[in-house]
Structure 1
Amino acid sequence: MSNCSPAPESGPPATPKKRLLNSLKARLIVSALLLILVLLPLIGFTLNDAFRQQVKSAAKNELSAYLYSVLAVTEVDNSRLFMPELLAENQFNVIQSGLYALISTPDKSSAKSLLWQSDSFLGFKAPPKLPHPATGHSEFSEMVLEGKPHIIYSFSASFEQRDNSRFPITIHIVKDQANFQQQIDQFNRQLWSWLLILMVLLGIIQLAWLLWTLKPLAKFKQELNDVEQGRAMQLKADYPTELQAVARQLNALLNTEQSQRKRYRNALSDLAHSLKTPLAVIQSQKDLSQSSFEQITVINKIIGHQLKRAQSAAGSSWHLGVRVSSVSEKLVRTLGKIYHSPEIEIAESVDSEAIFKGDEADLTEILGNLLDNACKAAKSKVLLSVTSGDGQLTIAIEDDGQGVTPEQQSQIFERGIRADSYGQGHGIGLAIVRDLIDSYNGKLSVSDSQKLGGAKFEVSFRQGES
């Protein structure tokens, strides 16, 4: 396909992902959700760790109290350890109660390091390695006893004997972790349940807040769309301070554009009117040749056409949207009456939602000229196709005539150059079409029709998405 009238490209259409990333609403929602999804779990992990440390500290204090109660009844005489049969804390007296007391010696030369164990420890094997902190110091750690996790609090002391010698011992208080782990697990369940509920509530609140905050932008977009579709001429809503200046400037721009377009139309109308009188005087000359009279008649028709065009589009503006189907249906009905002998069938495949963002008169001029030329060239059938999507409007007109040769394609849009042998027309129709399409930064191309075998004229416009 050869492009006979190249136009500036506006770049490839934006992908859904790119449009999403360029959406202010999407960015704010994603930012708010990320804040919730990152901040609340971070708070949860922090609270969980703080509670774990608190439980650990409470367990350490509890074991420390048990240790000093055991230390208070511990006696050493003549390098022998004496302990009462029963301890004050009854859990030490119940077999495998979950709370155990051990006394060992850090003296490596001793044949037996474990010196004493509480009745609750019966049935367990002595741990192979027990902590032995320095004398007067304690150590809190974890250990595995019979395959189950336990916590152990150890304190080293030294007893002075009658011969002034020292007898070092280490008292160990061991407790099953099940109770502490149960507290932690219960806290975790409650914590994450409430955090999950809080995340959902905050998400809903954030979403509602963002929608309320962005409501003026949605209204702004709707009003711009109304202006584009021709349902309004200005922005009238009461916007927040940040958008008021933009709305005022846009309204000023719309007013300026409308005024300029009106002056342009008026100037075109005045020019056509001013030319009609001199042409009428020249046409009244009796000594005019037939060819001169025909040319003046042609000029009069062109002036009449431009006058009609100026009147029909005087109130139009760049932002008005025209439904293509409404214009094409009128043209097809009109051309069907003109080309009835021999009958030319004009088939339509028009997207009912397709919008041409420009003057209705300009669209009528483009479609009218292309359809008229297709009917002149066709043997029996013309096909009009209109599609829209992704900010692109495409109009294709095909016929089953002889087609357009490559040599004709390079000349067909020049003013005054005729690529047909029709007995009517001024030779400027396609040139006007090209100029109009160029004014909208559109693209016009001609090629061979794959469906009907004749010529195919295709017009495409890049249009902003609403």
Structure 2
Amino acid sequence: MNEPGAAQEKEERAVHGRVRHFLRTLTGRLLLSALLWSGAALVIGGMLLSYAFRSYVLSDVDEKLELLIDTMVGISEISPEGVLRFNQPLLDQRFAAPYSGWYWQISEAGEAPFRSRSLWDYELQPDLDVRTFSLKRYEGEGPDGQTLRIAERDIILPEADRIFRYQVATDTAEVREAIQRFNWLLMSALGLIMLTVSLALVLQVAYGLRPLRNLRRKLVDVRGGATSRIEGDWPEDLKPLAQEVNALIDQNEKLVSRARTHVGNLAHALKTPLSVIKNEVDDDPSDKAQAIAVQVRSIREHIDHHLKRARIAGGGSGQGLPVQERAEKIARAIERLNQDKGLRVDVAIEANLKFDGEKEDFDEVVGNIVDNAGKWATSHITVSAHKLPTDQRRPYMLFRVEDDGPGVDEAEMEALFERGQRLDEHVPGTGLGLAIVRDIVELYGGSAALEKASLGGLAVILKLPAK
């Protein structure tokens, strides 16, 4: 019952992990910062534009209301009976239609208000206890549930020593609707602008960082051996970096070459005196001479081991080495060496599979493990390889060699990779084969392991770079 929930949680964690990984990249940081600043600028600009439009609309309404109050004051007079009246009608017919949204009212303390017909049976409620001789604007409740924008002022007419409260009001529904329409259009426009800016930022960042991605691909090609230098026309900002990387490659090659030369010179310098010592003690049957002979062999094994390590390239081979062809040649050679026991070596290699490395290194690795399998196999060896699925920049293959020999206990398998380790002294060899194999494979970024073979003997599994 919990499997769907667990799967969903796993998917969510994977999505969160991808998002966190993207935000840690240079592209993610540039895009996030640019989008945040652009979004903040658009939001602030939108708020300012909305506020400016609202202020403009309300200011326009307030100016109309103020003009109407001045007009009402101008046409107001006191009749002989002392009653306030207009000496001419207001021309705006909206003041005559009930609940039209435009109203006026003139109030006096203790008297019924003089009001527009549009108010019908409704009266505005001015606070006559507080005098307002300067124009005052506010919003209040109106007839039929309307929200009114009201402008009012206290006026003392020349004909009478009395204070009248002039009020003009309009329904704000149209104003609010206009503001809402403007805000909707503004948000739509800003949303479109944000989308356009986002796309432009994505294109800008992608275009701006493309040289860096190209530089990374060039470095991968150099590491894989496809090229030896970083070539190309780089932007001025990246030219110094490309030049420094090329200088670093040159320096590294010189250091490696010097180290190989020194190791080779030292090894060859030691071989001559070791040969002399070996010749001297070989004919001496004494225990002391035989002990010296054992140590001489050990020294020579160390020298051979480090000479082979110094020769390992560990880089790519450009176009790649066809695995099928090389494995077939090695298999036929091992069959000829073991033809006395009728050894058969079957090769099953994935089509077009290539080794991303040097031919000498491949022959050293495969030759060692197939030769070792030939020494222990009864009559049959299988060699197989296929490309591994991967999302890495450098693909790998799984190379497997099995024999039908006696096999090795699991507890002793790891010991076979130790230098000079041999499980049976009666079988020819120095014990350096698998140690050299692991050294080469690890220098190529791969791995080597042992397990029980399906044929009953030992299986050697190698992870090697492929093309």
Query: TM-score category by the smaller chain?
Result: 0.7 to 0.9
Instruction: Tell me how far 1:222 sits from its aligned partner.
Output: 2.9
Residue 22 of structure 2 is aligned to residue 20 of structure 1: yes
Instruction: Tell me how far 1:359 sits from its aligned partner.
Output: 5.3
The equivalent residue for 2:238 is: 243
Distance 1:159 1:177, change over 3 A: same
| 1:339-384, Cα deviation, whole Å (9 max, x unpaired) | 543323344469958x75x655445433432344345545645344
Q: Scaled by the length of structure 2, what TM-score is found?
A: 0.72
Residue 429 of structure 2 is aligned to residue 419 of structure 1: no
Superposed, 1:187-336 pairs within 5 Å as: 187-270=182-265, 316=313, 320-322=315-317, 326=321, 328-336=323-331
The equivalent residue for 2:372 is: 373
Match of 1:33 among 26, 32, 35: 35
2: CA distance, partners of 1:378 / 1:142 = 103
The equivalent residue for 1:139 is: 137
SS in 2 for 1:344: strand
Is this contact kept in 2: 1:371–1:397, CA < 8 A?
Answer: no
2: CA distance, partners of 1:74 / 1:455 = 117
The equivalent residue for 1:115 is: 113
Q: Gaps (5+ residues) in structure 2? A: 1-15, 285-289, 336-341
Instruction: Tell me how far 1:53 sits from its aligned partner.
Output: 1.0
Instruction: Tell me how far 1:20 sits from its aligned partner.
Output: 1.7
Superposed, 1:433-448 pairs within 5 Å as: 433-437=437-441, 444-448=448-452
Instruction: Tell me how far 1:65 sits from its aligned partner.
Output: 0.8
The equivalent residue for 1:5 is: none
Q: Gaps (5+ residues) in structure 1? A: 1-13
The number of residues matched between the two structures is 430
Residue 94 of structure 2 is aligned to residue 91 of structure 1: yes
SS in 2 for 1:173: strand
Please say which of residues 221-230 and 376-385 is displaced more in the overlay: 376-385
SS in 1 for 2:417: coil
The equivalent residue for 2:151 is: 153
Distance 1:50 1:416, change over 3 A: same
Instruction: Tell me how far 1:95 sits from its aligned partner.
Output: 4.7
Residue 107 of structure 2 is aligned to residue 104 of structure 1: yes
| 1:49-97, Cα deviation, whole Å (9 max, x unpaired) | 1111111111111111112211333345777433457224443245554
2: CA distance, partners of 1:327 / 1:306 = 28
1: CA distance, partners of 2:100 / 2:45 = 37
Distance 1:264 1:330, change over 3 A: farther
SS in 1 for 2:53: helix
Q: Scaled by the length of structure 1, what TM-score is found?
A: 0.73
C-alpha RMSD of matched pairs (Å): 4.6
SS in 2 for 1:153: strand
Higher normalized helix content (fraction of residues): 2
Residue 383 of structure 2 is aligned to residue 387 of structure 1: no
Query: Residue 152 of structure 2 aligns to which amino acid in structure 1?
Result: S
Is this contact kept in 2: 1:131–1:139, CA < 8 A?
Answer: no
The equivalent residue for 1:70 is: 72
Is this contact kept in 2: 1:385–1:397, CA < 8 A?
Answer: no
Identity %: 26
Is this contact kept in 2: 1:101–1:172, CA < 8 A?
Answer: yes
Please say which of residues 185-194 and 134-143 is displaced more in the overlay: 185-194
2: CA distance, partners of 1:352 / 1:148 = 82
Is this contact kept in 1: 2:104–2:115, CA < 8 A?
Answer: yes
Instruction: Tell me how far 1:194 sits from its aligned partner.
Output: 3.6
